[in-house]
Amino acid sequence: MWLREALAAVGARNLRHRGMHRFIYRLGRNRREREQIRLGLPSVQSYPKRPDPEPAG
C-alpha cells in the first residue's frame, strides 16, 4: 500500500512495453557438451528487434 501511495505522490504511471530480453544458455560440464546442445532457435539477431513505442504526451 505504501508503494502505491509513493508512486502516486511522485506522479508515476504504468507504461506498457514489449517485455524484457530473453537469453538462453547452454548447460554442460564443458565446452564440448555445450556445443552439442541444439537450441532450435533462428539465427542470432540484433536486439532490440523493434524499439518500444515512445510514451504519448
User: Can you give the pLDDT of all 57 residues of the chain as single tens digits?
Assistant: 999 999 999 999 888 877 777 787 888 899 999 888 887 766 666 666 677 777 776
Residues in the chain: 57
Contact 15, 55 (CB under 8 A): yes
By three-state DSSP, how is residue 17 classified?
A: coil
pTM (2 d.p.) = 0.33
